[in-house]
Amino acid sequence: MTMRLSQTLFGATFHNPVLLAAGTCGFGEELSDALDLEAVGGIVTKSVTLEPRLGNPAPRVVEAGNAMLNSVGLANPGLERVCSEKLPWMREHLSGIQVFVSVAGHIPDEYWRIVEGFESVGGFLGYELNLSCPNDARLGGLPFALDPEVLRGVVEGARRLTDRPLLVKLAPNVPDIGPVAAAAEDAGADGLTLVNTMPGLVIDITTRSAALGAGAGGLSGPALRAVGVHAVHRARACTSLPLVGVGGITDAEDALQYLLAGASLVQVGTATFADPRTAQRVAKGIARYGDKMGVESIQNLIGIYEGADRPVSVPGGPA
């Protein structure tokens, strides 16, 4: 028996559950020589802002133990050029897979104007609202995803502007992701992506300065995996939305943890930098696991973690 990997979610068919994460595949074209993009379930673009951004000073990426620290600073061509230069390529070359446009901004109005701009062009499935970038000071404020009520306002406004699937990307550094997930659902999100990178700092002890050009950054890679799996598990208990798990996936076993915890889809991010074919390999490995276990469809694996019904303990919070 061969396990069925395809699923219908958000009114669209995902031929497998493994997507490329925002910020790790550009707009597809940048990776098209290194892997067969039709072999992944979909991609999420680099976050797009209203105006072009050059990004932060180098180095933008450093090693941090079993992890990576980045502060890219939202480098992207901006709404207008993405619509005129990137979307046509994606429309032509990625018709067999699902594309989400990642949206970021400093103020709610920026998110809404970007969604309005993309709505007038089309040629992709939906949006991933990036409310959790750790490297964007938001004019001195914190990422929207750290406060359920602030997040609610951004999502409600975006919801009024589009009928396309709206994913909301959450941050790992909250005391309890449950209320944040519930607020996103209440505000009209169609799905949640968990999690963005975790704030971190690497210090060069020779220069006594930060190893990254920008100072602090966002931690990703294997060290983040258990945090992401826990976030999915916690969100599963608090919402009925489809969940997209991301953080530290390098092989099928990692991805399976997210699926069992309750994610319908997963994203591969940091591991793509080391091997652009990681997502393909992960999808094949999930299928092999299903075959070995005699599972008919991937849907029969989602959320069947045996602790799913147990009360979720939140460190520092009530059990």
Give the residue numbers marked as catalytic. Answer: 133
| CB contact at 8 A, 286 and 244 | no
Q: Which is nearer to ligand RRO, 72 or 174 (CB)?
A: 72
Residues in a beta bridge with 169? 130, 193
Gap between the Cα atoms of 91 and 145, Å rounded: 30
Binding mask 156-195 for ligand RRO (x = CB under 6 A): ----------------------------------------
* CB-count exposure of residue 207 (10 Å: 0-12, 13-18, 19+): exposed
CB of 22 to ligand RRO, least distance (A): 7
Helix, strand, or coil (residue 311):
coil
CA distance 139 to 105: 10
Bridge partners (DSSP) listed for residue 4: 297
> Quick one: which segment of 9-17, 129-137, 273-281, 286-294 binds ligand RRO (CB under 6 A)?
129-137
What letters, b where the CB count within 10 A reaches 16 and e where it falls short, cover 5-42?
bebebbeeebbbbbbbbbbbbebbeebbeebebebbbb
Closer to ligand RRO by CB, 47 or 267: give it.
47
By the rule CB under 6 A, 133 interacts with ligand RRO: yes
Least separation in angstroms between residue 134's CB and ligand RRO is 6
Residue type, 211: A
Q: Closest separation between CB of residue 205 and ligand RRO, Å?
A: 24
CB contact at 8 A, 52 and 81: yes
- Site for ligand RRO (CB under 6 A): which residue of 104, 151, 184, 241? 104
If the CB atoms of residues 189 and 298 are measured against ligand RRO, the closer one turns out to be 189
**Least CB distance from residue 49 to ligand RRO, whole Å?**
9
Does the protein bind ligand RRO through residue 47 (CB under 6 A)? yes
One residue of 24, 197, 239, 264 binding ligand RRO per CB under 6 A: 197
Contact segment (CB under 6 A) with ligand RRO among 29-37, 72-80, 144-152, 272-280 equals 72-80
> Residue with CB nearest ligand RRO?
218
Q: How far is the CB of 15 from ligand RRO (least distance, A)?
A: 26
In the structure encoding, which two tokens stand for residue 203, read together?
Answer: 């210090």
Find the shortest distance in angstroms from Cβ 254 to ligand RRO.
18
Residues 224-263 that bind ligand RRO (CB under 6 A): none
Question: Torsions phi, psi of 232, nearest 5?
Answer: -65, -45
Indicate which single residue of 16, 71, 173, 278 sits in contact with ligand RRO (rule: CB under 6 A).
Answer: 71
Q: Residues for the chain: how many in total?
A: 319
Omega of the bond leading into 195 within 30 degrees of 0 (cis) = yes
Q: Does 73 bind ligand RRO (CB under 6 A)?
A: yes
Q: How far apart are CA 264 and CA 271, in angstroms?
A: 20
Interface residues with ligand RRO (CB under 6 A) are 23, 47, 70-74, 104, 130, 133-135, 196-197, 218
